[in-house]
Structures are given as C-alpha cells and as structure tokens.
Amino acid sequence: MRLLLQLLFIPLVTFCLSTSIAFAKLNYVTVEGHGTGVTPKEAVQSALVDALGKVNGMQMASRERTAMSSVKVTAEVQGKQGVAELNSEEFQQEIQTATKGLIKSYEVVSIKPDEYTAGLLAVDLKATVIKYAKSKQANRNRIAVLPFRVDNANDVTQTTFAKNLCQGLVGYLTQTRRFAVLDRDFQDESNGELNSLKSADVPMEEMARLGNRLGADFIVVGQINKAVSKQWNKEMKSTGKKFPMSRYGAALSYRVMDVATGQIMFSQLYDGIGTHQGYAPDMSRIAKKYADVLGKQLVEGIFPLLVVSVSGKSMYIGQGGETIKKGQKFTLIQYGKKMMDPYTKESLGREEIPVGIVQVTDVQAKSSRANILKCSVDINALFAPNAFIVRLIKGSGGQKRAAKKAKKVEKVIEKSMVEMEKESSDDW
C-alpha cells in the first residue's frame, strides 16, 4: 500500500511542479529611470524607484525606497568615475539584495548636476525589473459583484438570499468568460496572502506579485427589497382534504455601473414572488436560479452571444460552460443597420433581424456547437465576425412552451422569406 502511495505521489509532485513552471507569470522588463538626490547614491535610488514604479506601480516602488536606504556602499564621485562606481558589482549586489531581486540589474547612463534645482544631482539609468505578467483574462473588462443591500438587515431570509445570490452571480459571470471577475467576498483572505509575501523568507521573485491588484471597470450593485419563503396547508371545503401551499421568491433591483464615470450601463427590476401549490424549495436554490436569470440579462444586455464560426448546417457560439445547456434553442439574429438616438445622438445599437433557429448539440468549456434548424439567409455566404448573434428562446430544452415559441419565430422567419422573395420578383 505504501509503495502504491509513493508511486501515485511522485507523478503528482511532478505534475504540480511542471504546472507551476508552465503557468509562471514572472518576466523581466528593462525600463529607463530618472531621479535626483543630494548625493549620487540618493539620485540612483530615486531613479531606481522611478523605474520600479513604471513596471509594478508606485505603491511598491515607495515601499522599496525604504529598503534601498539600507544600502551601505557609497559613491560620492561624479562624471565617468562616479558612473563606474555606481555600476560596480558591489553596489548592484546590495541593491538587488535590498529589493529582494525585484531589481535584477541596472546601468547608470549619466550623472550630472540637476538643471532645474541647484545642489541636486540628476541620474539617468536603465534598470531590469521583474514584472508580474497578468494573465490574458485580466485584459478582459473587469467586473466586481458587490454585496447586495437588504431592506431589513435583521431578516435572515433576506440576508441569506442576498449572499447566495451574489455568489451565484459571480459564478455565472465567471463561466461566461466575458469578464475578468474580481473577488469582493474574500478580501481578508486575499490581503492576508499578499501580506505574507512581505516576510523575509519569501523567494525574491514572488515580491513582484505585490502591487498588481486589479481595479474593476464595472461593478454590479443591487438591493433585495423582499425575500419570502412561507408554506401552509390549504383545506378543501368539499372533501376536507389538505394539500400544501407555499409562497416564495424575491423582489429586487440591480444595476451595472461604469466605475470611472458612474454611468449606469444596465439596470433591471425583478419580481419573482409567487404563490404555488406544494412545499417551498430551499431558498439557496431559488437564489441560484435568480443569479442565472440576472446573469443572462446582464451579459445579453452588454455582450450578446456571438456566432464565431459557421460550417454547413452547424455553427459555434462563443460561450460555453454551465451557462449553455445541450438542447436549448436560440433565435439566430443578423445585425442590420446602426441606429442613433435622434435627440442625444448616442448609439442605440444595431437592427436585429431574426433569420433562423439553432439548437445546441454540444457544450464545451469555452464554446458551444449548434445545429441550424431553420435559416432564411445563406449564412455560409454572409457570415462575418460580429455579424450574427443568438438569443435564447425562453423555456427551451424540450418543453412544450419552447416548441410553441419556436413556431412563432418560424412564422416570423417564413414571413420574412416571403417578403424577400416578393422583393426579388419585383426587382425583376
């Protein structure tokens, strides 16, 4: 048994090591720095802080200024001899040690009296600094879901529902891969991990992770006005038979705001409180369901699902994961002319022309494949990036009402096909 565990452990360690290497996010960047000081040593340190700030932010650079003040080597000579002393191996080694390797090396280009302030020296240098390279996902629009307000903080149902709703919304937005979703629930744990990087026994390269916390482009805020979960027994007067009844759901409002401008990008009211026959389900399940609904509204309002490729009778939709289900049907929409608000002159988006129906046949992590069930245009000939989108037919996935809704969409498409044929014959 012990031998078996050893055989399993060795590949696991190898995998972890190879994974950490494969996903390493540290590289070296050479930048120019300029600084001034009363002594050559102070001027060099000032220039190094400037270079470090350009790469990893001024917050980290300011912290390293204090560390570099511990450098004991002095250089008090100007001109070429001063440059040589400042570039000496001993001086560079002390700078590297003081900054825990954040500054790998540097080269002083010039040292001379500052032309703007008498009594100060100016230094220009080139420094090679470790940079924490952010993942490609960090280049997406960054969004954070802030805790929803509750109408009554003493109402356990409201507070629990709000917490579960936010967690579900974070999960949904992450699955869409449209945003870099920033955590706002576990900041204490995150801050504790970052603080641990400041200890003396942390590898020097890890220090580059400090100063790279991302700020949000958009925030999701909202309020739970009401959350209900009640159940009772109703008695039939004719037979005296009792059967369970329940009233559950929530009424809420939420909005997406641009952090930089404070502009409301998207806003929605939602009221899902209703009376039903049967027992009330667990409110955490209701919160998850609401999170999916709100997430779909939010994403479709800002980033509709794009058709990314077409081949014959199948196509790929640029979204997958848990947000798309096999069997779901979507209305295929072709973008038309751009529309402008006649009063504000702002863009209202583009015309959306329904041209077909597609059904999802396969869901992958980042994309989904769908079959084209009906289409009034030659999409293979007309396809271009950002030209076609899909919108979910509500209730799709094999239910009867989905079929009825699909038939309605089919009638619209058939009507458009008749009109197109009529226009074509008129042209002749």
Q: Which of 10-24, 67-81, 198-212, 394-408 has the lowest mean pLDDT?
A: 10-24
What's the pLDDT band for 24 if we cut at 50, 70, 90? very low
The superfamily CATH assigns to domain 138-188+212-289 is ABC-type transport auxiliary lipoprotein component (3.40.50.10610)
The domain made up of 304-427 is a member of CATH 2.40.10.410: yes
pLDDT in tens, 273-327: 989 888 888 888 899 989 988 888 888 777 788 999 999 999 999 888 877 889 9
The pLDDT of residue 119 is 85
Within its chain, how far is the Cα of 20 from the centroid?
Answer: 22
Looking up tokens 């022309």, which residue turns up?
353
Residues 6+ apart with CB under 8 A from 169: 145, 220, 291, 294, 295
Same fold, 27-132 and 304-427: no
Q: Which fold has domain 27-132?
A: Dodecin subunit-like (3.30.1660)
User: Model pTM?
Assistant: 0.52
Counting Cβ atoms within 10 Å, is residue 45 exposed (0-12), middle (13-18) or buried (19+)?
A: buried
pLDDT in tens, 26-43: 678 888 989 888 888 888
pLDDT above 90 (res 329) = yes
The pLDDT of residue 51 is 83
Helix axes 58-68, 89-98, angle to 10 degrees: 120
pLDDT above 80 (res 399) = no
pLDDT in tens, 175-216: 887 788 887 665 554 445 445 444 444 444 444 444 445 567
Sorted by where each begins, the domain ranges of the chain are 27-132, 138-188+212-289, 304-427
Rounded Cα gap, residues 356 and 412, in angstroms:
9
Rounded Cα gap, residues 79 and 157, in angstroms:
73
Position with higher pLDDT, 8 vs 147: 147
The pLDDT of residue 13 is 39
